[in-house]
Amino acid sequence: MHSRRTVLTTAAAAACAMGTGGGAVHAVASGPRAAGAADARVRAARLVSRMNLEEKVGQLFVMRVYGHSATDPDPADAEANRKEMGVSNAAELVAKYHLGGIIYFGWAHNTRDPHQIADLSNGIQRAAAAQRVPVPLLISTDQEHGIVARIGAPATLFPGAMALGAGRSREDARTAGRIAGEELYAMGIRQDYAPVADVNVNPANPVIGVRSFGSEPKAVARLVTAQVQGYQRAGVAATAKHFPGHGDTDTDSHVGLPYIRHTAEEWERLDAPPFRAAIEAGIDSIMTAHIVVPAFDASEDPATLSRPILTGVLRERLGFDGVVVTDSLGMQGVRTKYGDARVPVLALKAGVDQLLNPPDIAVAFASVLKAVRTGELTERAIDEKLIRILLLKERRGLFDDPYTTHRAVERSVGTRRHLATADRIADRTTTLLVNDDGLLPLSRRAQRRLLVAGADAASPSGTGGPPTKVLAETFNQLGFTATALPTGTAPTQELIDRAVTALRTQDAAIVTTYNVTAASSQRALVEALLGTGKPVVQVAVRNPYDIAQLPGVRAALATYSWTDVELRAAARVIAGRRDPEGKLPVPVMRADAPGSVLHPVGHGLSY
């Protein structure tokens, strides 16, 4: 674990500004834990007492910024910063608003490669050290792995949550969190918005799905605990999300305001266990959900703005005393009922500590300042929030040394050992759902020539490419002769005909599918390939429910993601190089009778 003994003083901040350390040395705690916690709180309070109101308010914000450099972004990124935030770069943003944190995104061009990320992190910390009251920033990102990964290869990419749920191994989940945490730490990132603690009980959920460990609360709780332990042992703050539970909705809170209709008793049974487990594991932070839960708040305010939910349930009932961070305040779910000037104030009043990524930082910052000056928010309440944030920063070693080095990156990020571990974990997650007449594993003699067709999805940056390409290359490495023919998630008749023609000169087809529905032309593709009489193997590269829409398929697998590590594992299973070990962490319901189970939780065939 990281140090709780760090001194929050001007001298420590000055040493921090010199950047003397390498970011990879973890301090050793000393003294009794209770006394240490009390001392840390005193140090934090002293630091808060040196700040003016603008500096205090700024520490509550975590903002996006465009560019690969803290001081010298590309011209287009500098222009985007000026347009959205009135500054040219990250250093100016920190100076203007006294920010407490920065969040990295691939689309904001923050995550080109590990060395660049480390340099960006160091530049941001130097900007923080130059402030009147130097406070290191908490740099964060959404590195859930699986379908949500802001940092691609050469960093190590692990199977996502539902794949880990299929693997059922707490040790694998813990190891994935620890290695991912070590690599983030080496790039200067000390907070990860993971793990997802939502229990995905609704197959129609458009926003969680495979980002969840599964549909069984106890199983999800065990893996959430393991991931929290892994991340935080590596020195990175874990963040359980999305409280009070985003698993049972068919609305995406990015574009709408979901309602969770669970009763209080159902919430206690279905949604609460993973969050309770995370809190018991000592999680540093919890992210709110932009969802309405009428059972807890009759006002129908989203949870992010609900005092009955964040203070009444999270703080008082569950006893969480760490940092509460909002989901992005640019999402439609939190903006539906109130304007952008009111949302930050209402979130703070509800019990939030960190305000993540408001659409207009100038409006949000001014509205919070006004609320304090008019008495709607007390400065004492702001101080308490700030103390929680400072304690988290101290716990994660930021006052010891917020910087990193290229040597730390080279020592930790994407090492051979880490990559091999990711492959071994992935080998335990691939789930074989159907294998009629023992079609799998394929034989290099009888089915040497393979057509790899089907849906491609946007892989995280720096990966090997679309799923059909990665699968074909892996099969070629395994001794087959494979040809990729991407047909997309909505194949036209022309593409379907091309695939059928191509299969006539091949021995078998591998067809990837992506969230097949009754109306999807992916069904027509699969049916046309089956009509050739050649063996067809279907691989679901996102949700595992596709097989319910494809009744004629004789061999079907679920990978739970389209990332390289999971696709390679699936190819090894199909080729017979590995036995399938994954078990469904969610039930697959029948398409023709949604109340009936086609494949239950725990289903998974072996050779």
Q: What is the pLDDT of residue 458?
A: 58
> Rounded CA gap, 517 and 550, in Å?
10
pLDDT digits (tens, 9 = 90+) for 581-591: 999 999 999 99
Q: What is the pLDDT of residue 23?
A: 36
Q: Which residues pair with 556 in a beta bridge?
A: 434, 538
Joined together, the tokens standing for residue 312 give 């009444």
Given a cut of 70, is residue 33 above it in pLDDT? no
pLDDT confidence of 262, banded at 50, 70, 90? very high
Query: What is the percent of the chain where pLDDT is above 90?
Result: 85
From residue 589, give the alpha-carbon distance in Å to each of 262, 430, 488. 21, 19, 25
Burial of 596 per CB tally in 10 Å (0-12, 13-18, 19+)? exposed
Neighbours of 97 (CB within 10 A): 22
> Rounded CA gap, 106 and 485, in Å?
28
> Rounded CA gap, 207 and 144, in Å?
14
C-alpha angle 352/394/70, rounded to 5°?
A: 80
User: Taking the CA atoms of the chain, what radius of gyration do you get in angstroms?
Assistant: 25
Q: What is the pLDDT of residue 344?
A: 97
Q: What is the pLDDT of residue 4?
A: 31
> Rounded CA gap, 370 and 359, in Å?
18
Note the pTM of the prediction, 2 decimals.
0.92
- From 364, 239, 347, 358, select the one nearest 301 (Cα to Cα): 347
284 vs 254, residue with greater confidence: 284
Domains of the chain in start order, with CATH, are 10-98+113-412 (3.20.20.300), 430-599 (3.40.50.1700)
pLDDT digits (tens, 9 = 90+) for 135-152: 999 999 999 999 999 999
pLDDT confidence of 15, banded at 50, 70, 90? very low
604 and 582 Cβ atoms separated by less than 8 Å: yes
pLDDT digits (tens, 9 = 90+) for 505-520: 999 999 999 999 999 9
C-alpha angle 522/252/151, rounded to 5°?
A: 80
Alpha helix segments (H runs only) across 50-167:
53-58, 75-85, 90-97, 114-129, 161-167
Residue type, 146: G
Q: What is the mean pLDDT of residues 36-63?
A: 93
Q: What is the pLDDT of residue 34?
A: 59
Q: What is the pLDDT of residue 527?
A: 97
Joined together, the tokens standing for residue 566 give 């999971």
SS3 237: strand
> Rounded CA gap, 19 and 493, in Å?
60
> Rounded CA gap, 554 and 436, in Å?
5
287 and 326 Cβ atoms separated by less than 8 Å: yes
Torsion, Cα 478 156 555 514, to 10 degrees, reads -130
Q: Which residue's entry shows tokens 């010199």?
A: 18
Q: What is the mean pLDDT of residues 14-19?
A: 35
pLDDT confidence of 354, banded at 50, 70, 90? very high
Joined together, the tokens standing for residue 251 give 């609305």
> Rounded CA gap, 89 and 9, in Å?
28
Whole-number mean pLDDT of the chain? Answer: 92
SS3 126: helix
Q: What is the pLDDT of residue 35?
A: 65
pLDDT confidence of 258, banded at 50, 70, 90? confident
SS3 88: coil
Q: What is the pLDDT of residue 253?
A: 76
Burial of 192 per CB tally in 10 Å (0-12, 13-18, 19+)? buried
Residue 458 has, within 13 A of its CA and on its CB side, a CA count of: 6
> Rounded CA gap, 345 and 122, in Å?
31
Given a cut of 50, is residue 426 above it in pLDDT? yes
- From 252, 251, 12, select the one nearest 133 (Cα to Cα): 12
Q: Which of 113, 248, 284, 327 is catalytic?
A: 327
Q: What is the mean pLDDT of residues 222-227?
A: 98
> Rounded CA gap, 154 and 75, in Å?
26
Given a cut of 50, is residue 27 above it in pLDDT? no
Q: Which of 26, 115, 254, 406 is catalytic?
A: 254
Q: What is the pLDDT of residue 319?
A: 97
> Is 290 known to be catalytic?
no
Query: Which secondary structure element, helix H or strand E, spans residue 103, and what is its range?
Result: strand 101-104
pLDDT confidence of 3, banded at 50, 70, 90? very low
Joined together, the tokens standing for residue 371 give 């609320």
Q: Which residues pair with 139 in a beta bridge?
A: 102
Q: DSSP code of 305?
A: G
> Is 254 known to be catalytic?
yes
Largest CA distance in the chain: 79
pLDDT digits (tens, 9 = 90+) for 541-595: 999 999 999 999 999 999 999 999 999 999 999 999 999 999 999 999 999 888 8
